[in-house]
Amino acid sequence: MSNKVLCTLPPEDIRNLQDLTWMKSALEDLAIVIAEQNHILREDSELYLRLINDYKEYLIKINDFWSIYLKKYHISDNEQLMVDYKTQELIIVPKSISCCEKSVNN
């Protein structure tokens, strides 16, 4: 199966996805920095709980974003979606291709 362009995403969807993935990445970076100073990050601390809750919230938002397109285009289990930010195209690719933040499976 080769890559197939499904549509061109509206600019608002592009901005939304970029914001969501940026925030997810920022939370992951924060977790790494804090984990290096494990005396700050205790599982019962307010900072830890807030970090976990915020991270879960962004994972849900990203899943919600992708679920619209997964349903609309009937994406199978051996396929995934990615975005070409340069062209703003939504592309279907075989699941074996790793796409980092562009992947459905963030």
Model pLDDT for residues 41-84, shown as the tens digit of each residue: 666 778 888 989 999 999 999 999 999 999 999 998 889 999 99
Q: How far apart are CA 47 and CA 71, in angstroms?
A: 36
Q: Give pLDDT tens digits for 27-43.
A: 999 888 877 776 666 66
Residue 14 near residue 85 (C-beta atoms within 8 A): yes
The whole-number pLDDT of residue 38 equals 66
Structure tokens at 4: 């197939």
pLDDT at 3: 85
Count Cβ atoms within 10 A of the Cβ of residue 63 and give its class: 0-12 exposed, 13-18 middle, 19 or more buried. Answer: middle
Chain-centre distance for alpha carbon 46: 25
- Ranges of beta strands (E only) in the chain are 4-8, 79-84, 89-94
Q: How distant, in Å, are the alpha carbons of 36, 65, 95 from that of 90?
A: 37, 13, 15
pTM of the model: 0.77
